[in-house]
Protein backbone atom coordinates (compact mmCIF):
# COMPACT_ATOMS: atom_id res chain seq x y z
CA UNK A 1 0.00 0.00 0.00
CA UNK A 2 1.35 3.38 -0.98
CA UNK A 3 2.10 5.79 1.87
CA UNK A 4 0.86 9.35 1.43
CA UNK A 5 3.17 12.16 2.54
CA UNK A 6 1.24 14.59 4.72
CA UNK A 7 2.20 18.15 5.52
CA UNK A 8 1.42 19.85 8.84
CA UNK A 9 -1.93 21.21 7.67
CA UNK A 10 -3.13 17.85 6.36
CA UNK A 11 -2.19 16.25 9.69
CA UNK A 12 -4.13 18.95 11.55
CA UNK A 13 -7.15 18.32 9.30
CA UNK A 14 -6.94 14.57 10.05
CA UNK A 15 -6.68 15.15 13.81
CA UNK A 16 -9.71 17.44 13.71
CA UNK A 17 -11.76 15.06 11.54
CA UNK A 18 -10.95 12.19 13.92
CA UNK A 19 -12.04 14.33 16.85
CA UNK A 20 -15.30 15.45 15.20
CA UNK A 21 -16.10 14.53 11.61
CA UNK A 22 -19.49 16.25 11.79
CA UNK A 23 -18.08 19.76 12.04
CA UNK A 24 -18.71 22.02 9.08
CA UNK A 25 -16.00 22.86 6.58
CA UNK A 26 -16.08 26.41 7.92
CA UNK A 27 -15.44 25.20 11.49
CA UNK A 28 -12.70 22.87 10.32
CA UNK A 29 -11.06 25.57 8.20
CA UNK A 30 -10.98 27.98 11.15
CA UNK A 31 -9.30 25.37 13.36
CA UNK A 32 -6.56 24.60 10.81
CA UNK A 33 -6.06 28.24 9.71
CA UNK A 34 -7.33 27.88 6.13
CA UNK A 35 -10.18 29.43 4.23
CA UNK A 36 -13.14 27.16 3.44
CA UNK A 37 -12.40 26.36 -0.22
CA UNK A 38 -8.78 25.20 0.24
CA UNK A 39 -9.81 23.24 3.35
CA UNK A 40 -12.63 21.52 1.43
CA UNK A 41 -10.21 20.66 -1.40
CA UNK A 42 -7.72 19.14 1.04
CA UNK A 43 -10.43 17.03 2.68
CA UNK A 44 -11.56 15.80 -0.75
CA UNK A 45 -7.93 14.99 -1.68
CA UNK A 46 -7.53 13.00 1.55
CA UNK A 47 -10.75 11.11 0.77
CA UNK A 48 -9.76 10.45 -2.88
CA UNK A 49 -6.31 9.22 -1.84
CA UNK A 50 -7.93 6.77 0.58
CA UNK A 51 -6.42 8.40 3.66
CA UNK A 52 -9.94 9.07 4.94
CA UNK A 53 -11.73 5.77 4.31
CA UNK A 54 -15.15 6.59 5.78
CA UNK A 55 -17.00 8.56 8.41
CA UNK A 56 -18.72 6.78 11.27
CA UNK A 57 -20.37 7.13 14.68
CA UNK A 58 -18.79 5.62 17.79
CA UNK A 59 -21.43 3.72 19.77
CA UNK A 60 -21.11 2.98 23.50
CA UNK A 61 -21.25 -0.83 23.41
CA UNK A 62 -22.61 -1.23 26.95
CA UNK A 63 -25.53 1.09 26.16
CA UNK A 64 -26.61 -1.25 23.36
CA UNK A 65 -26.26 -4.42 25.43
CA UNK A 66 -22.80 -5.60 24.33
CA UNK A 67 -21.33 -5.94 27.81
CA UNK A 68 -18.90 -8.80 27.12
CA UNK A 69 -15.72 -8.21 25.17
CA UNK A 70 -13.67 -11.32 24.45
CA UNK A 71 -10.25 -11.51 22.79
CA UNK A 72 -9.55 -14.90 21.28
CA UNK A 73 -6.30 -16.28 19.95
CA UNK A 74 -7.03 -18.72 17.15
CA UNK A 75 -4.56 -21.30 15.87
CA UNK A 76 -5.17 -23.21 12.66
CA UNK A 77 -4.46 -26.94 12.35
CA UNK A 78 -2.60 -26.37 9.09
CA UNK A 79 -1.43 -23.07 7.70
CA UNK A 80 -2.60 -23.43 4.11
CA UNK A 81 -4.00 -20.71 1.90
CA UNK A 82 -7.36 -22.46 1.60
CA UNK A 83 -7.82 -22.89 5.37
CA UNK A 84 -6.74 -19.30 6.06
CA UNK A 85 -9.03 -17.92 3.34
CA UNK A 86 -12.02 -19.85 4.69
CA UNK A 87 -11.32 -18.65 8.24
CA UNK A 88 -10.92 -15.03 7.16
CA UNK A 89 -14.13 -15.13 5.10
CA UNK A 90 -16.02 -16.52 8.10
CA UNK A 91 -14.67 -13.71 10.30
CA UNK A 92 -15.62 -11.08 7.70
CA UNK A 93 -19.17 -12.45 7.59
CA UNK A 94 -19.68 -12.58 11.37
CA UNK A 95 -21.06 -9.35 12.92
CA UNK A 96 -20.00 -10.43 16.45
CA UNK A 97 -16.35 -10.27 15.36
CA UNK A 98 -15.42 -6.59 15.18
CA UNK A 99 -11.67 -7.03 14.69
CA UNK A 100 -9.54 -9.82 13.24
CA UNK A 101 -5.76 -9.77 12.88
CA UNK A 102 -3.39 -12.25 11.24
CA UNK A 103 -0.42 -12.73 13.58
CA UNK A 104 3.08 -14.04 13.98
CA UNK A 105 3.90 -15.99 17.12
CA UNK A 106 1.96 -18.65 19.02
CA UNK A 107 -1.44 -17.98 17.43
CA UNK A 108 -2.39 -17.42 13.80
CA UNK A 109 -5.18 -14.90 14.48
CA UNK A 110 -6.47 -12.59 17.19
CA UNK A 111 -10.17 -11.75 17.10
CA UNK A 112 -12.22 -9.32 19.17
CA UNK A 113 -15.77 -10.43 19.82
CA UNK A 114 -18.56 -8.30 21.34
CA UNK A 115 -21.59 -10.10 22.79
CA UNK A 116 -24.14 -9.45 25.53
CA UNK A 117 -22.59 -11.87 28.04
CA UNK A 118 -20.38 -14.95 28.46
CA UNK A 119 -23.32 -17.25 27.70
CA UNK A 120 -23.70 -15.49 24.34
CA UNK A 121 -19.97 -15.98 23.73
CA UNK A 122 -20.40 -19.71 24.33
CA UNK A 123 -23.26 -19.68 21.79
CA UNK A 124 -20.98 -17.79 19.35
CA UNK A 125 -18.32 -20.48 19.72
CA UNK A 126 -20.84 -23.23 18.91
CA UNK A 127 -22.65 -21.29 16.16
CA UNK A 128 -19.56 -19.96 14.37
CA UNK A 129 -16.14 -21.06 15.51
CA UNK A 130 -16.69 -24.79 16.07
CA UNK A 131 -18.16 -25.06 12.56
CA UNK A 132 -15.08 -23.66 10.80
CA UNK A 133 -12.93 -26.47 9.44
CA UNK A 134 -9.24 -26.15 10.14
CA UNK A 135 -9.26 -24.47 13.57
CA UNK A 136 -6.90 -26.25 15.91
CA UNK A 137 -7.14 -24.20 19.09
CA UNK A 138 -9.05 -21.22 20.49
CA UNK A 139 -7.75 -19.44 23.57
CA UNK A 140 -10.36 -16.99 24.90
CA UNK A 141 -9.70 -14.10 27.25
CA UNK A 142 -12.61 -12.14 28.76
CA UNK A 143 -11.85 -8.43 29.06
CA UNK A 144 -12.51 -7.23 32.62
CA UNK A 145 -12.29 -3.52 31.74
CA UNK A 146 -10.95 -1.36 28.97
CA UNK A 147 -8.02 0.62 30.28
CA UNK A 148 -7.56 2.55 27.02
CA UNK A 149 -9.72 2.57 23.91
CA UNK A 150 -8.91 5.02 21.14
CA UNK A 151 -10.02 5.12 17.55
CA UNK A 152 -8.04 8.19 16.49
CA UNK A 153 -4.69 7.47 14.85
CA UNK A 154 -1.68 9.46 16.13
CA UNK A 155 -1.06 11.48 12.96
Question: Of the candidates 123, 143, 132, 126, which has an alpha carbon nearest to the alpha carbon of residue 71?
Answer: 143
Count Cβ atoms below 10 Å from residue 27 Cβ, excluding itself. 13
Starting at the edge strand found earlier in the chain, the sheet holding 135-142 runs 97-102, 109-115, 68-76, 135-142
Q: What is the pLDDT of residue 69?
A: 98
Q: What is the largest CA-CA distance in the chain?
A: 57
Residues of the chain with pLDDT under 50: none
Global pTM reads: 0.91
Give the list of residues 6+ apart from residue 112 with CB closer than 8 angstroms, or none: 69, 70, 71, 97, 98, 99, 100
Q: What is the pLDDT of residue 2?
A: 85
Amino acid sequence: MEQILLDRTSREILRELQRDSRQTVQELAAKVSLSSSPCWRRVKELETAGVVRRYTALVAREKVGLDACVLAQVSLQRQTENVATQFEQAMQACPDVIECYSLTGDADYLIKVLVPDVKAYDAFLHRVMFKIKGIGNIRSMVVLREVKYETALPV
